[in-house]
Amino acid sequence: MYNFLTGPLAWFSFLVFFIGILIRSILYIKGLDSNLDRVTYKVNTSFGIKEAVRSIFYWLLPFATRGWRTQPLMTALFFIFHIGLLASTLFLKAHNMILQERWGFSIITIPDVVSDYLTIAVLAAALVLIIRRMALAQVRILTKPSDYLILLISIAPFLTGFLAFHQFGNYPFWMITHIISGELLLVVIPFTKLSHCFLFFFSRGQLGMDYGIKRGGMKRRKAMAW
């Protein structure tokens, strides 16, 4: 069971994840149309790239855009959730040990206690996000059952990983559910809203190009305050 999950199924999950990302990215770019979108992507491209990069950069920094500043609670939740999620996954000692064993390399790691706190932060932020979704009328009206499902799929590897690490109850059970939920997450990313983990850069960048090329990019005397 364990061998299958960490062998063929792991390969399958990563393949679906990476190939899915690749295909969706190609389809996104191929689907851009200068005439329909009314943005000359291929003329004055440098203005577009500059604003695309600026737009992405500012939105990746907490409180760097007016949007982030006007909604501090959401911003805090957003960054705690996403930074915690990425850092605790990529820099976890145990994950890097597997990388080292299988591929002969690893990336930087953080102490286990930090990973632990980050994981708790992710789970706590997710809980507040769920409460926010239920409590605020402007979010509730947008919410579909799938929004909860996707959030649950996203946090399942963190919850199970946490329980496995601390050996709550049945360790092998939590370990196996951790691996399965992690692989499930990888597989659903390219096919759901979770594809935002890479499409964010395209979508955000596109609007940056739109503003940089067409909507005043060449006339704006003061840099656009995103």
Partner 1 sequence: MSQNILCTQNPVNDKEALDALLKDKRGQQYYDEMTRLEVDTAALSKSLNDTCHSRIRTWLELCAHCGMCADACAFYLSNEKDPKQVPSYKIQSTLGEIVRRKGNVDNALMRYAMDVAWGKCTCCNRCGLYCPFGIDMGVMMSYLRGLLFSQGFVPWEMKIGSGMHRIFRAQMDVTVEDWVETCEWMEEEWEDDWPGLKIPVDKENADIMYTVNAREPKHYPEDIAEAAVLFSIAGENWTVPGEGWEETSLAMFAGDWEGSQLQAQSVYDAMDRLKPKRMIVTECGHAYRATVIEGPYWTGQKSGKTPIETLHYVEWVAEALRTGKLKIDPAKKIKEPVTLHDSCNYVRNGGLSQCGREIMSYIAEDFREMTPNGDHNFCCGGGGGMNGIGKYREERNTGQKVKRDQILATGAKLVITPCHNCWDAIRDLEEVYKIGIRWSFLKPLLLDMVIVPEHLKPKEE
Three-state DSSP class for residue 223: coil
Question: To 10 degrees, what angle do helices 72-90 and 145-165 make?
Answer: 50
Nearer Cβ to partner 1, position 23 or 98? 23
Nearer Cβ to partner 1, position 167 or 203? 203
Nearer Cβ to partner 1, position 43 or 131? 43
Task: Point out which residues bind partner 1 (CB under 8 A).
Answer: 27-40, 43-44, 55, 59, 66-67, 70-71, 74, 78, 133, 136-144, 147, 193, 195-196, 199-200, 202-208, 210-211, 213-222, 224-226
Nearer Cβ to partner 1, position 67 or 172? 67
Nearer Cβ to partner 1, position 123 or 132? 132
* Minimal distance, residue 101 CB to partner 1, in Å: 36
Residue 87 CB neighbours (<10 A): 17
Distance CA 146, CA 73 (A): 23
Among the listed residues 208, 212, 215, 159, the one whose alpha carbon sits nearest the alpha carbon of residue 182: 159
Inter-CA distances, 39 with 35, 47, 209, Å: 7, 12, 8
* Minimal distance, residue 53 CB to partner 1, in Å: 13
Output the CA torsion 20→163→96→7 (10° steps).
Answer: -50
* 112 φ/ψ angles, rounded to the nearest 5 degrees: -60, -35
Distance CA 100, CA 29 (A): 35
